[in-house]
Each structure stands twice: as C-alpha cells, then as structure tokens.
Amino acid sequence: MKAIWTMAVREWRSMFLSPLAWTLLGVLFAICAYMFGSLVQQYLLRQLQYQAYGQGMGGGLPLTEWTVTPLLGNTAVLLLLIIPLISMRLIADEKRRGTWPALASSPLSPLQIVLGKYLGLLLFLGVTVLLIGLLPAMLFLYGHPDPGQFFSGMIGLFLLAATFGAIGVAASSATDNPVVAAVLTFGALLLLWIVGWLGDSGAEGAGRILGYASLIDHYEKLLQGIVSTADLAYFIIVSVAGLTFARQRLLAQRVEGF
C-alpha cells in the first residue's frame, strides 16, 4: 500500500513539474470560466424575463439547472480532449524512455504499478475537478443554488474523469508510443460517448445494452441530482475493467519478458 502511495505521489509531482499540466489546467480553466460566465449572463437575462412574465409559477427559474448543469456537461467534453494527453505518458513513456526495465524488475507487482500510476493520475484529476468546481461554488455567495444537485454533479464529474483516466491507463499499457496511447484513449472515450446514440433510436435488446454502455447517460443523471447505485456502479465497473486490462497487459509483458 505504501509503495502504491509513494509511486502515486512521485507520479503526481512529476506531472506538476512539467509545464504541460499547468498549461492544460490554465487553458481548461479559462474555457470553463468563459462558458460559465456566459451561462450566468444568460440566466440573469432569463430571470428578468421570467419575473416580468411568469410571476408566481413555482418559485422561479432553476439556477443550478441553468448554469451548473450545462457547465459540467460541457466540461465533460473538454476532459474527453484533455485526459488522453495526461494519461498517455503514464506507462507508454516509461517504456519509450527506457525506464521500464527498472520498474518491471522492481519488487512491485504489476497491480501495484498500475494502481500507483492511476492514483497519481487521480490526484491530478482531483485538483482539476476542484479547480473547476470553484466556478459554480461562487454562486453560493450571490444566490441560492441547490447544494445537493451541485455536489452530485461534482461527484459525477470526478467519477467521469476517473473513468476516462482508467481507460487512458489501459490504452497506455497497450502500446509503447505515447501518441498512439493518446489516440487510442481518445477513440475509446469518444466511442463510449456516442455508443448510446444507437440505443436512443428505439432498438430493443442490443439497443438497451448500448444505451447502458453510454457514458453520458449515467453522467447526466448525476448532473440532474439523481444518485443511483446503477450509475455509480457503471463508473466503477468501467474503471476497474480498464485497470484490470492494464494489469493483465503488464503481467503478460513481464512474463514474456519485454
């Protein structure tokens, strides 16, 4: 356990020692701030219209629904683009830089290596999610957003990022070229994103399975403030599957000796 933690911290530190992580965070935050600013602007405008026309209808225009939910929904798209860039180096880069034999011959088991790398990534993603969460959190100072829906949305964002990351780790273990790993991750994530479209078109049986596989449906329920064990389990199962794949890959490579 301690070995995993040491490795996670080492990984996390090395991310923040490179300008890539800082730049990604800066760009991500600027885009999110812009989107959030325009959403709040729209809300304020609609609120005025609403007060003028729709008085006395159920207490007003839902704030969280109009600002936080779309922000987190759009942030998911940005994470889809950014996480492959972060996760690509995790394992593939070690192989390319030639540090892999040292790691592979260390007393660490493949599972420990995968978990250590993944935990390091999770620490980074945690920082990212907290940073983005600052934007909607500002609303609490000036209005009455729904705290429950806000927190379930934030949990959703973190789970989504964690799932993206696990898939990234899996892709990074499959190849020794970081760029290939990034492309693989991006492809897999995009596929998981759009796989539900077929399910939506009304097909039965297979359609329902595809609908279940779709990332976005599970995420949207959390954004709505619905916390369901089915959705939490989905994220955990996909993450565990990704990590297991990476572990199996490393195990096979270690035994086969390359």
Partner 1 sequence: MRMNRSTRLNLRTQNLLTGLLLALLFIVAAYATNRYPRQWDWTNSGRHTLAEQSVKAVQAFDKGLSATVFLQEDKDRRREISELLEKYRVINPKLTIQFINPDSNPALARQESIATYGTVLLRANNKSEKITETTEESVTNALIRLQKGTVKILRFLTGHGEHPLSGEERASYQVVAQLLRGEGYQVQELNLASEEAVPADTTVVVVAGPAKSLLPMEVERLEKWLQAGKGRALIMRDPRTQSGLEKFLLTQGISFQEGVVIDPVSRLFGAGPTTPIISQYDPSHPITKDLKMPAVLAEACGINMEPTSAPNGPTRTRILAGADRGWLEAGDISSGTVEFNPDKDLKGPIWMGVTVQEKDFRLAVTGDSDFASNAYIQYSGNDTLFLNTVRWLAEDESFIAIKPKKNMDAGLSIPGRTAQFLFLGALLGIPLILVGTGVVIWSKRRRK
- DSSP secondary structure letters along 86-104: HHTHHHHHHHHHT-HHHHH
The reply to whether 162 sits near partner 1 by the rule CB under 8 A is: no
- The CB-of-200 to partner 1 minimum distance in angstroms stands at 6
In whole angstroms, give the CA distance from residue 225 to residue 151: 8
The reply to whether 258 sits near partner 1 by the rule CB under 8 A is: no
User: Which residue, 36 or 186, has its beta carbon nearer to partner 1?
Assistant: 36
The reply to whether 196 sits near partner 1 by the rule CB under 8 A is: no
Measured CA distances, 247 to 35, 116, 124, 157, 173 (Å):
38, 12, 21, 25, 8
Which residues from 30-49 bind partner 1, rule CB under 8 A? Answer: 30, 33-34, 36-37, 40, 43-44, 47
**Comparing C-alpha atoms, which of 117, 234, 236 is closest to residue 173?**
117
User: Which residue, 104 or 251, has its beta carbon nearer to partner 1?
Assistant: 251
The reply to whether 147 sits near partner 1 by the rule CB under 8 A is: yes
- The CB-of-14 to partner 1 minimum distance in angstroms stands at 11
Question: Which residue type is seen at 67?
Answer: T
Helix (H, G, I), strand (E, B) or coil at 106: coil
In whole angstroms, give the CA distance from residue 10 to residue 175: 22
The reply to whether 139 sits near partner 1 by the rule CB under 8 A is: yes
Residue 233 C-alpha from the chain's centroid: 15
Per CB under 8 A, residues contacting partner 1 are 16-23, 25-27, 29-30, 33-34, 36-37, 40, 43-44, 47, 58-65, 135, 138-139, 142-149, 151-152, 200-202, 204, 212, 224-230, 233-234, 237, 240-241, 244-245, 248, 251-252, 255-257
